[in-house]
Chain A
């Protein structure tokens, strides 16, 4: 079986499961930070239902000394905090893999190495709440003797807590660690491969979620106002900016609803600051009317739409890519809207920064589409380079400017973009209206004016460089099959094509970040030069395929769609693509 690393050094996949509230994710994050400190590349993902206590939460941690971009469907180690985890997740444990469970569990098996932890005995006076940290220490103990990195991982994870909490957790981890070491010595074996500190060519990495990366991009871009109504999986934007209010002078407002969030952002932007909101599909539906107002009023703003599995409340803590067409076709009437979808945390950071520049330059709303998988999963990446990031506010007139004369807010210009004065500007008085208006902003409903204004607004999109509006290519140029996808599909596809190419199958990946507008001619040429294409999307109706067909006339016949609320697994993609290629390029 592929990707079974039980006894390989510096390659491992671990799953942790248990009821909500028992610290399942803490174990996962501690392990991830431990691996990050060993300079391995890490992918951390979570799977949980919409509740606060109980239920069944799991997280998966994959760490390797090679570049990785996705979680693994199967694991070398399963940490089961309850019996439900054993019955639900044992099927994903590799044969010969290690099951770590409480000694109270009566589970026995010859197929797996069962490693029972006498939690009650090991606690020995410690707070019951650190049982999960004991399990964490036990996993580390199985991976070798070099245990000092876990102290750093704990200190980093609990850095906002009191010193005694940190110390108690270090003690608990040591207890688990020592226990594992003793058993390894006694039975004279390593249960799993060893983890040794390597020298990662990326240097010091950062480890964070897609939402955090996007929020950092916005922070760098100088966002000053954030209006948001909490909604999974976008809520972390709200807490991120609330936590940065003081140090960065950002007003963060939890609004009464998403209508208020979007409208406040519009007000703040008209008044001259960079502003953002974040939501998921349901909240975005409520923001729709206001988005069109931003379009006609030529108000820049950035909205992060973190998709989850719909329709309606749907499967709210699971991932999906079903909002693409909805977002692209937002609001009544037609107005220029820029829609982009980053695929990993680096794209989240850099494209989030860029989204603000585009919004300001084009003076129109930009929607950044994420999905739960990218929004909440954590990845390691090369530390972001901020030195080349330049804030570009386009034709914005700062309040420090002298008095303007003969100013017209919506003046017709060659590129369709007019100078943007904000309230408080001497000589800049105008109205920003949701009605069709003339160059001054006054309501004007004549046919001639409406035509010119529609042309002006759409003309603005042409100022986005064409090269940006084409997909990125990954993998060999002369591939027999090109996978087409967007957003978070990037991770599992990149891992799948790595192994496919290793095994002699020439496959590459066409990754769409900017989806609307699209360089129609460029995309068509790119697709026509492919030998064979297949589209992968996390939705039922192949929405990007249809958009590509609408814009270019090119029809991607083959699809491999996923609409079960779970992300793609690179193993599934590998098998699917291999099957197609072995079958002469045809789907069975």
Chain B
């Protein structure tokens, strides 16, 4: 498998060390709690020092995540988490960069960056809290809202076809594509762990209830539809065609979860492809750069 090496012999961090002490601003029962727990567990399981983790978010309920995990964090502006994260990763490739945001942030206002981040294959892990609704702005449709769903912005039912993030990811060249469920912390934590270990861009779309603005899709509504594809007989995440078939089923009657697709050595990450020095850019000394030979070219 095409995976990055993570080693830290004397690892002493536990869940409590990742507690930021910040009081939560989320509604009781929100799916975000499960996702935050899954991220913390994945980091601990991989024995990563919190100082080497950078969590980058956009704007929205889910984008408050950096406030609740004690690592480095950037809470950017709406839709722009991916370019900020890519810039940070390119500047310091030794960081483990995790990006979080909602479906509106990533598949709506930020969808351009999403596609380019996948084809660029920067080594970051993108976790999308996908609850098919805009929560923080109080209940408008999102790019993943199903056709016919009534919301404050579609009182007569949405007439648009939703984005299928899984198919979009496959088509855009993502090298690790998975879907999890906020209500299954163990599976989700496992997916995130694999996403972080994966060399290259990993996308994990997380089905998540919004108890306040999407009450029709409750925790039990999801549970009735969730299917763990990794338990299927013909499970084969190395086969892109198979992955397409599964991905096309998403948002229909079932919600498939698990790793849809992970490429094998077919692509280097963006940084591997760069011709520059192998030392992280931030570790270069810039105090006295000699440009005499450049100036001579203009004589």
Which residues of A are at the interface with B, using a C-beta cutoff of 8 A?
Answer: 204-208, 212, 216, 219-222, 224-225, 227, 244-246, 248-251, 253, 255-257, 259-261, 263-275, 289-290, 293, 297, 383-384, 386, 391, 399, 422-435, 441-443
Contact = CB atoms under 8 A, between A and B. Distances in A.
B276 A264 contact: no
B137 to A, nearest CB: 15
Given A264-B83, A434-B77, A273 B282 contact: yes
A289 B77 contact: yes
B291 interface: yes
B275 A263 contact: no
A433 B64 CA distance: 10
Contacts of A425: 51
B282 A224 contact: yes
Nearest to A274: B286
Interface stretch (B34-42, B65-73, B125-133, B249-257): B65-73
23 contacts: A219-B294, A221-B286, A245-B274, A250-B276, A251-B281, A255-B116, A260-B83, A267-B83, A267-B89, A267-B90, A271-B87, A274-B286, A290-B80, A293-B76, A383-B299, A391-B287, A428-B51, A430-B73, A431-B74, A432-B73, A433-B74, A434-B59, A442-B20
B1 interface: no
A253 B271 CA distance: 11
B10 interface: no
B94 interface: yes
B91 interface: yes
B72 A433 contact: no
B286 A423 contact: no
Nearest to A263: B83
Given A207-B298, A212-B298, A224 B284 contact: yes
Contacts of B112: 256-257, 259-260
B73 A431 contact: yes
A227 B87 contact: yes
Main DSSP-derived SS at the A contact region: mixed
Given A267-B87, A269-B91, A430-B73, 15 more contacts: A221-B286, A251-B91, A259-B83, A263-B80, A263-B113, A267-B56, A271-B88, A271-B92, A271-B282, A272-B92, A429-B51, A433-B66, A433-B74, A433-B75, A442-B67
Contacts of B73: 430-433, 441
Interface of B: 20, 22, 50-52, 54, 56, 59, 64, 66-67, 70-77, 79-80, 83-92, 94-95, 112-113, 116, 274-277, 279, 281-284, 286-289, 291-292, 294-295, 298-299
A267 B294 contact: no
The 4 closest A-B pairs by CB, nearest first: A222-B286, A267-B87, A264-B87, A263-B83
Contacts of B51: 423-429
Contact of A429 (B71, B90, B276, B288): B71
A422 B83 CA distance: 18
A443 B25 CA distance: 11
B59 A429 contact: no
B42 to A, nearest CB: 18
B75 A266 contact: no
Nearest to B87: A267
Nearest to B279: A249
A427 B281 CA distance: 21
Nearest to A272: B282
Contacts of A297: 74
A297 B73 CA distance: 12
Contact of A225 (B59, B77, B113, B281): B281
A206 B284 contact: no
A220 B286 CA distance: 8
Contacts of A206: 295, 298-299
A268 B295 contact: no
Nearest to A433: B75
Contacts of A225: 87, 90-91, 281
B100 to A, nearest CB: 13
A224 B91 contact: yes
Given A256-B116, A270-B84, A424-B95, A249 B298 contact: no
Contacts of A391: 286-288
B281 A273 contact: yes
B92 A423 contact: yes
Nearest to A422: B282
A222 B64 CA distance: 34
A42 to B, nearest CB: 12
Contacts of B90: 225, 251, 253, 264, 267-268
Given A263-B76, A264-B90, A399 B282 contact: yes
A158 B259 CA distance: 54
Contacts of A266: 76, 84, 87
B298 A268 contact: no
Nearest to B49: A426
A267 B288 contact: no
Taking each of B67, B94, B112, B275, which has the highest tally of chain A beta carbons within 10 Å of its own beta carbon?
Answer: B67
A290 B54 CA distance: 19
Nearest to A207: B298
Contacts of B74: 267, 270, 297, 431-433
Nearest to B94: A424
Given A216-B291, A431-B66, A270 B88 contact: yes
Contacts of A244: 294
A209 B4 CA distance: 44
A204 B299 contact: yes
Contacts of B87: 225, 227, 263-271, 275
Contacts of B95: 271, 423-424
B58 to A, nearest CB: 9
B175 to A, nearest CB: 19
A207 B297 CA distance: 9
Given A423-B88, A443-B67, A383 B83 contact: no
Contacts of B94: 424
A46 B281 CA distance: 37
A434 B71 CA distance: 17
Contacts of A269: 87, 91
B217 to A, nearest CB: 28
Contacts of B88: 267-268, 270-271, 423
B50 A429 contact: yes
Contacts of B282: 224, 271-273, 399, 422, 424
